Structure 1
Amino acid sequence: MGESDRYQDYRGLARRRFTLGQAGNALFALFAINMVFFFLILISRVFYLYTHQGEGAAALQFDAIRWVAMPASLIKLSESPWTVLTFMFSQGGMDTFPLLLTMLTSMLWLWAFGYILQDLSGNKFIFPVYIYGSLLGAVFFIIVVYALPPLKANIGNAYLYGSQTGTAAIAMAVTTFSPRYRIFKNIGRGIPVWVLTGLFLLITLISAFSLTNAGSFATLGGALAGFLFVYLLRQGKDLSVWMINLYNWGSNLFNPNKKAAVNKTKEKVFYNTGSRKPFNKTANVTQQRIDEILDKISQQGYHFLTEEEKNILKRASEEEL
């Protein structure tokens, strides 16, 4: 049984779990940002059509997505640099029904993979992986548009937008974290998450074989970012640290009364035990201690527990505390 499987068994001990509107739920926050951008773009288009009814077909060509989508042209990008961040949260299109369907499927994929990543590592990596994937996908998008003559000829109308690149990063991060993680466990032994990731990438990339869809190549860049993030994490390089520190700094900037978090110092042995076995302290299993450990899992993930904390959870599950 792997660590992720053991953690799922311990989840029954939790009194507090991630719920849809729970404070500190990074996945819900990411989902909400995408929805806010979606409705702002949709309302802007409806308002424009209402105020330009006399323009006929010309008004129908307006699409507010151009305000927040990232252009492939470096000249246009220099004129709207904010789109490097806004494109990853924006869904757009001219036709309402396909747009709604695209938004629904995009959010379902994001929620599915984001929930698994949250289950494996807590809230810590949701936004960093999504942002890194989107940015590397943007780099791939620009390179491909400039590299392929059919795309470069129409570079003035090439824009990147949507959550696909960030979702691809989260999907690949989940698969790299725990490829044997299983979903739908009521179906046989369950379906490995790598199958779901493969299905998502296949559906997203199927148009890339024509070499005319730069967005599909951007998705490949996003998936590569997710893999590299976890790979470097296993090498001891956590690329999310600076983002988290920046967020904490911004959150505390206008809150001088907020107390700094107190770091607990671990106990150390200051003597040479020689050939003797050091004293081994066995912690009492209390509901309060279990709740503290489960809170740590929610925020950081099971992989960041100490051996003592893992043993406490194991003992608690055996004693059915």
Structure 2
Amino acid sequence: MDNILHEFKDAWRRPNNALPQIIIINVVVFLVLAVLNVFGKIFGISFISDFVYDQFSIPPLFADFILRPWTLLTYAFAHSLSSIFHILFNMLILYWFGKLIVEYIGNQKLINLYVLGAISGGLLYLFVYNFVPYYAENSNFHGMVGASAAVYAITVAAATLVPNYTFYLMFFGPVRIKYIAGFYIVISFLGSVGGNAGGNIAHLGGAFMGFVYIKQLQSGTDWGAWIGSVMRFFKSFFVHQPKMKVSSQKRAKTTTVKSQPSSSMANNMADQAEIDKILDKISQSGYESLSKEEKQKLFNASKN
């Protein structure tokens, strides 16, 4: 048990590790809500667990939503407690397609897509249930939870970025991810008038954002740049800034001879620092973000 907790802590603390961190948040939220639900029913205090669950569930009507506006984002980190398969399938798809996003465009872009996909899915869901008569007449349900809209944004983004990338599926063999994403979109569209109409509407909103985000990124505009700025702002409150100490003591007038590093050693240190910067850039933005010179330097270093 200690080893499992250590692995979770290590994955959470490791820098540039957005995909496992998002999955950990989803799993922890699911377990907390599930445990509260169990104890609530056993001890007859379900109103407490229901209240907590409401803070993650986005209601269909604006009148209810304006009382809990944070649910526009929190709903994407909670899942149905009636079936383990809801979170299981979402996390599996997130892992498969999220790895491609991290590999090609970096960790921050994955976070951007997750947040923007959740927001766009939630907004479309709110729009149809308040302005489209068919859905307004069927808005008498409690609310919606699930990471599906965010996951769809990542799935479609990956398919837009590298449409011919191939997954090997059981019983089907090699399948290009553009067809997998297309299949998901068709299924959600057909289900937009079914029992999970709200969820499927949110899927479509997330999918649309995933496509637009990549197209805008390819044209030089990052719609999610503000998300990184907000994250850095909040992190600044938790990062300790060491204080600079000023000493007024006089230095002794003793003459010391300092050994100077050889020129070759200095060059090696400079080269290693440059390689480290290149590796950090790959981790953050993907290999394709490197310039030709940086790729050549990395290739030369690999031969040493």
What is the TM-score normalised by the length of structure 2? 0.76
Amino-acid identity (%):
27
Partner of residue 143, structure 1: 127
Pairs within 5 Å for 1:17-96: 20=11, 22-52=14-44, 65-93=53-81, 95=82
**Paired position in structure 2 for 1:225:** 209
1:308-319 correspondence to structure 2 within 5 Å = 308-315=293-300, 319=303
CA deviations 1:127-153 (Å, max 9, x no partner) are: 111111111111111122234434322
The Cα of 1:290 is off from its aligned counterpart by: 4.4
Q: 1:53-82 CA deviation, whole Å, 9 max, x = no partner?
A: 8xxxx98x9585333111111010111122
Q: For residue 53 of structure 2, what is the amino acid of its counterpart?
A: I
Distance 1:200 1:293 in 2: 36
The residue matched to 1:312 in structure 2 has which SS? helix
Aligned position for 2:192: 208
Are the aligned partners of 1:150 and 1:212 in contact in 2 as well (CA < 8 Å)?
no
Structure 1 stretch displaced more, 137-146 or 204-213: 204-213
Poorly superposed stretches of 4+, deviation over 4 Å: 61-64, 187-190, 202-206, 209-212, 286-291, 314-317
Given the alignment, which residue of 227, 238, 244 partners 2:228? 244
* 2: CA distance, partners of 1:71 / 1:166: 17
CA 1:45–1:293: 2 relative to 1, 3 Å:
same
Cα deviation digits, residues 215-263 of structure 1 (max 9, x gap): 211111101101111111122111222211221122123446269xxxx
Contact 1:45 1:64 survives alignment (8 Å): no
Contact 2:188 2:201 (8 Å CA) reproduced: no
SS at match of 2:236: helix
Over 3 Å counting, the alpha-carbon distance change for 1:316 and 1:179 in structure 2 is farther
- 1: distance between equivalents of 2:180 and 2:296? 32
- Equivalent pair of 1:65/1:91 in contact (CA under 8 Å): no
C-alpha displacement of 1:160: 2.2
Cα distance change of structure 1 residues 168 and 290 upon mapping to structure 2, 3 Å threshold = same
Alignment match, 1:302: 287
Stretches of structure 1 that go unaligned for 5 or more consecutive residues are 1-18, 260-282
Q: Distance in 2 between matches of 1:162 and 1:36?
A: 14
Report how far residue 315 of structure 1 moved: 4.7
Looking at structure 2, the residues matched to 191 and 287 of structure 1 have their Cα atoms a distance apart, in angstroms, of 40
Q: CA deviation at 1:90?
A: 0.7
The whole-number CA distance in structure 2 between the counterparts of 1:290 and 1:196 is 37
Instruction: Report the residue type matching 1:42 in the other structure.
Output: A
Correspondence 1:176 to 2:160: yes
Structure 2 residue runs without a partner (length 5+): 1-9, 244-266
In structure 2, relative to structure 1, the CA distance for the partners of 1:214 and 1:51 (3 Å cut) is same
How far the C-alpha of 1:41 sits from its partner, in A, is 1.2
Higher RCO (C-alpha 8 Å, min separation 6): 1
Q: Is the 8 A contact 1:69 1:161 kept in 2?
A: yes
- Let me know the Cα RMSD of the aligned residues: 3.3
Contact kept? 1:252, 1:258, Cα under 8 Å:
no
**Alignment CA distance shift 1:287-1:198 (3 Å):** farther
* Aligned-residue offset at 1:158: 4.8
Shift of 1:199: 3.8
Distance 1:39 1:147 in 2: 35
